[in-house]
Every structure is written in structure tokens, then in C-alpha cells.
Amino acid sequence: MLKLIRRPDMWITLVLFLLMVPAERMELFSSLENWLLGNRHIVRLNTLEPEKTQFPYDEIVIVDTEETFFDEYGSWPLKRADIAKLTTNLKRLGAKVIALDMLMDFPNGYDEDPLLAEAMKNTRNTIVVAQLEFGGDGKFKEVNYPTETLKAAAESGYTNHTLIGNKLSRVRFFPQEIKDHNIWPFAIKTLAMYKGVEPQLENGQLTIGDIVVPLDPFNDLWVDFPSLPPMATFLAKDTPAGISAAEVLLELEDIPDDEWDEETEDLQEMISGKIVLVGDTSEVSHDIFTSPIGEVYGIEFLANTIMTLMKNAPIRPASSENEMLVLLILFICFLIVALIPKYENLLFLLIIVAYSGFGVFSYVYYGVAFSMSYALIACVLSTGNINLYLFMMERKQKGFIKGAFSQYLSPTVIDQIVENPEMLELGGERREMTPFFSDIQGFSTISEGLTPEELVQLLNEYLTAMCDIISSHQGTIDKFEGDAIIAFWGAPLDLPNHATVACHATIEMQKRGEELRKMLREQSRPLLFTRMGLNSGPVVVGNMGSAERMDYTMMGDVVNLAARLEGANKFYKTFSMISGSTYELAKDDIDSRQLDIIRVVGKNEPVPVHELLARKNETSGEMSGVIEQYMKGLKLYQDRNFKDAIAQFEKVLTIDSEDGPSQTYIKRCGMFLESPPEKGWDGVFTFTEKG
């Protein structure tokens, strides 16, 4: 968790999710939200039972003054005298409420307003359109009522449409204007007249009789859109809810009173006891809007608003608390995924898909509309943000790996680490490894006889040859200390056979040393003999140093012993010494001979040591004879038979007069003959100097 707190992408992700709260309140992404809302609504209409989504044809009717009507009528707009006739006819046909979606704020030039006012007074349940006027600063100015004559004869309601992202989907309430002027949205007032009650708005809650509906934080009512019959496009034109004004006005002219009921029986059945909305869907009226699910005429939107309230507002926005809770859950999911090193993009996608499914499910089956666009934008931006951070960190890590290890590792090993950085744990860690130390015998004397240029050239040739072998055997070069090489096997890459590979590399370096001496001898240059020491065991390895400067290096007792063994070669006149732990790990792959059990300076525990000779079964015949005789002498030495041991080691010298270990034991056995070891001697020889 601390790692996440330190990651800047996590803080950016938190900021992105937090920014979605004010963004949703300001509806910054309303166009995208409308698209998502429209798709959810289409799924809802196609999923739920028809009775839950269809229009209430038995309670609402639309009388449509469409293109065909005006073609027959002969002029546009409808004369107020004819509106009076239309209103009177609707009343005679049994309309319970007549809602005229017509703005008549200027007196009629033919002095027809009194005629229309008289007709509306007689119907006693008519409502006409008003408008709320706002200034350029958005502040309310006044109510634009119908003419005084018409206002006195009928109720009024405003039809100001609030577009959200250029889509018509909500009815906005203006509480202060409602309180000051008793002016309500047209559809709300119409429904209240239908139910014979006065609407009330308190604390963001609308009440119309037994209908109680909460508004959203903007004082908006979210309008439900009904399912339409197959192949139908508009509610007013293609469904049983729509009636042409011609049927109510033109076709009822000159019908005698005694024939009225018989001639209008079908119309009475369609209109009686219902809310009748009268509106204009002709092209010249321009009363058409875009909703989240398609185009809708203004008169249809009024009908849909009434339907929404009759169904007790089945579509409601999620509460602010629930919106923030969802954002919090999504953010926590992103945090959890960030802890998973692989498949984060797949998991991010699953989170987005799961949330999308949740948003659709809650809308379709529960009518709860979450602001999906804001959460999805936060998710998508956070996914990009986290991916960008991981990409930058990956590039930085690859650059660091190449920079940190290019001088230590072979390109092949570096490529493996770059492709699989999880194989490398930067910082201190304990690993099973084989440290390696080497030093050129008598290098100080050699350097005194060379010019600086000659010394640098000689040293570079030698170090290049040795380092090439180390790198080619998957070793890591720790550092150079003058002519000394410090390296190790087993880090940064895991190397199960680190001891064997280290031994094989040491054998190759000694062979390469022989080739170099041959070349140097031919060039009359100083010969280089290198002592090498190997030990195996648990080592602490990692980046060590200061925050500004650090090295990938190792430390521990195992490392110190490897350094002591390199120096201990001097006592046996050998050049490759390995510890007993290294021998046990590599014995099936190498030839060696036991040298001794020793106690080096600074250590109390005895350590078995071996001379590394060759790869398994590659020791020469002469050397095999030396080892056979040598081991006999070593057995006599360990049995404290020092006199016979001297004789046996002298036999070894008849085979190889330069065999260093035999020479060492002859001298030691002579010393023990003069001054025998203590009675409880365990065969361990303790060195008093480092070598």
C-alpha cells in the first residue's frame, strides 16, 4: 500500500474521480450522457413488459394540427375563432381537461379573443401556454402570459424547455417563480387540473394529489418516453393517442344537435374523460426537438411528461450519495488492480464492463439513472493515466537495467532482465550465490617494471579476456580493484547451478590465462598468473550506496571467505581454490582435489578447501597420477603419520616437481615432526595471515 501512496498515477487517478463530482453537477459531458441514457432507455423499452412502458391511451389524447389538416384548412395558423370552435367541440365530446399548446400573448387582429375567452370559460377546464422570460444573465424577468382576455378565462402554464446537451429529456421547475407567481410547468398544471388538486413543491418534492415525486438537484423532472407500436415514429401521428384536428373541427361542422351523439359516438369514446392536448406538428411550427431516443414534437413531450407523473416518475436519477459511492468503489477497484502486476488492462476493462452492466441493469429494472458517462470517463482516463505511468516506469526501469548492468552482464542476460524485470528485485535481498575473487600474483612487482601506458595496456588486455568469459558464463561483474576482479553468479538472475557455472568459468579463465602467457612470452612482456577463489552460500545482494550513487554489489561472510580463499592459494602454490560448499554443489561436474581443512584469519569455523582442476573427467593422465599419489599422502597426514606422509608427498614430486600442495605438506609434516600438534588435533590448519 505504501508503494501505491508514493505512485503519482494513483494520486492523479484519485483527482480524476474527484473531478467527476463537480463535472456531473455541472453536466459537462451531457452529450455523452444523453447518448448513454438513450441506449439504456431503448434496452428498457425492449426488455420490460409492454404494460410498464406503453402510453396511457385511455387517459391522454393528442389533437394534432398537422400538415394535412392545414392543407384542408387553407391557412396557417389556426384562427382563434376556430380554436374556440375546437375547444367547444372537445368539451361537447367529453374532454375532462383541454390543454392548448399555443402561445397567444398578442391580441388577435380580428377581435376574436373575446370569442375564444367565452368558449374557454364555458369549458371551465382549459389551460393555455405562458412563457417565463429570462435576461441574458439568466435571471428571471417576468411571466409572458396570454392576453389579458384569455388569461382571465383559462389557466396558464409555462412550456419553457430546458435542453440538456441539446437534448430534451427533463422539465425544469423554478421554485421561486412558482412561489411568487403561482406559475407551473404546463404539463404539471394540466395533470393537477385533471386530478382536481393544486400542485405543491416543497423541499425538492413535487406533490399532485396522490402522486409524490422527488426532483433532481437541478429541480428537474426526468421524463419517461413510452414504447411505440411497431413501425411507429411519432406518438401524435402513428399511435391511437393521436387524432387529427380535422376530425374535431372540420368534420363536425353543420351537424345538427339531434344527430350529434350519433355522429360523434366514436370521437366521444376516444375523448371522453381524458386529457386532451391540442398542438401543432406542422413543419412551419418548428415545434420539434431531439430527445435521447430520437425526435419528439413539443406536444408529445408534454404528453410524455404527464404520463411520467401518472406512473409516479419511473425514471429517477441516482442520489448524489449513491453516485459518489459508486465513484469510490470504482476508485478502490482501480487501486486493487494496480497492486496486480499483470493483466491490469484486462481487469480495468472488466471493471468498466461490470460498471456498464450495473448502470444498464439499475436503469432497466429499477429506473435508477446513474450518470454513467462521468464514471466511465474517470475509468478510461485513469486506465490511460496508469498505463502511461507504467510505460514510463518500464522505460525508466529498462534504461536503469541497461545502464546499471551493461558493464557487468552479457547483452543476452541484460535482454532477459529487460524483458522480465520481475526477475530483478532491486534493493537488498538474500540469495544463494557463488562469489568470485581473483588477483594477479606479484602484480605490484610487475607494475614497477612498466611504464603507465604499458601497464594500462597489459591490464586492459587481461581484464577484457577475463570479463568476456565471466559474462559469457552468466556471471555478474561486481567491480575492479586494480588488477583484482570481483564477480558473482546467481544474481540478478536466478541461476540454480551457479556453483557449477562459476567453476566452469574459472577453469576457462585459467585456460585463457595460459594462452595469454604464451602470447606475452612471445612478446617478451611480463607473464600474468592469477589466483582465484570461489565460495557458495547465502549472500546479501542488491543496490547499495547513497540515494545519489549506488552499486549493485554483494556482502556477507560467504563473500569474505571467497576473498580469503583467493589469498590462501599462495600457501599451496595453487591458482584456483574452492570451498567445500562450492565443491558439494559442483562435484558432479568438475574434477578437483582436496587441499586441506583450514581456518582462515578472522574465522573460527574450519572450512574444507579444494583445488579446482578441470571439467568432469577432463583432467590429464599425468595430473591424475599426481592426484592418486597425493591423496595417499593426505590420508597419512590426516592420520598423523607425518613421516610416511613426507615420503608419499616426495613420490608426488617425482611425477611433478612443481606440485605446490605436496611441497606445502612436506614442509608442514616436517614442522609437526619437530613440534607435534596437540593430542586432540582435528586436522584443521589455522592460518595466521591472510595470504
- Local confidence band at 411 (pLDDT 50, 70, 90 cut-offs): low
Q: What is the dihedral of CA 391, 397, 401, 404, to 10 degrees?
A: 140
Instruction: Report which residue type is found at 63.
Output: V
- Local confidence band at 35 (pLDDT 50, 70, 90 cut-offs): very high
Radius of gyration from C-alpha coordinates of the chain: 49
Specify burial of residue 124 (Cβ count, 10 A radius: 0-12, 13-18, 19+): exposed
Query: What integer best gives the mean pLDDT of the chain?
Result: 92
* Cα–Cα distance measured from residue 321 to residue 314, given in angstroms and rounded to the nearest whole number: 20
Over residues 623-675, the pLDDT tens digits come to: 999 999 999 999 999 999 999 999 999 999 999 999 999 999 999 999 999 99
Angle between helices 30-47 and 372-405 (to 10 degrees): 120
Question: What's CA 447's distance to the chain center, in Å?
Answer: 60
Where in 343-403 does DSSP place strands (E)?
368-369
* Cα–Cα distance measured from residue 327 to residue 514, given in angstroms and rounded to the nearest whole number: 71
Which pLDDT belongs to residue 422?
57
Q: DSSP letters of 478-518? A: EEEETTEEEEEESSSS--TTHHHHHHHHHHHHHHHHHHHHH
- Local confidence band at 407 (pLDDT 50, 70, 90 cut-offs): low
Query: Using an 8 Å Cβ cutoff, are 189 and 130 in contact?
Result: no
Over residues 310-336, the pLDDT tens digits come to: 999 999 999 999 999 999 999 999 999
**Cell numbers found for residue 530:** 592469477
Which pLDDT belongs to residue 61?
98
Whether the pLDDT of residue 614 is over 70: the answer is yes
Give the pairing of strands 205-208 and 140-144.
unpaired
* Cα–Cα distance measured from residue 618 to residue 610, given in angstroms and rounded to the nearest whole number: 17
CATH class of 424-616: alpha beta
Query: Using an 8 Å Cβ cutoff, are 33 and 27 in contact?
Result: yes
Task: Label residues 633-654 b or e (16+ Cβ within 10 Å = b).
Answer: bbebbeeeebeebbebbeebee
Over residues 191-246, the pLDDT tens digits come to: 999 999 999 999 999 999 999 999 999 999 999 999 999 999 999 999 999 999 99
Over residues 68-78, the pLDDT tens digits come to: 999 999 999 99
Which pLDDT belongs to residue 1?
61
* Cα–Cα distance measured from residue 374 to residue 381, given in angstroms and rounded to the nearest whole number: 10
Mean pLDDT over 525-533 rounds to 96
Query: Using an 8 Å Cβ cutoff, are 517 and 530 in contact?
Result: no
Over residues 46-87, the pLDDT tens digits come to: 999 999 999 999 999 999 999 999 999 999 999 999 999 999
For 426, the 3-state DSSP assignment is: coil
Which pLDDT belongs to residue 395?
79
Q: What are the structural domain ranges in the chain? A: 2-27+318-397, 65-314, 424-616, 620-691
Whether the pLDDT of residue 686 is over 80: the answer is yes
Whether the pLDDT of residue 408 is over 70: the answer is no
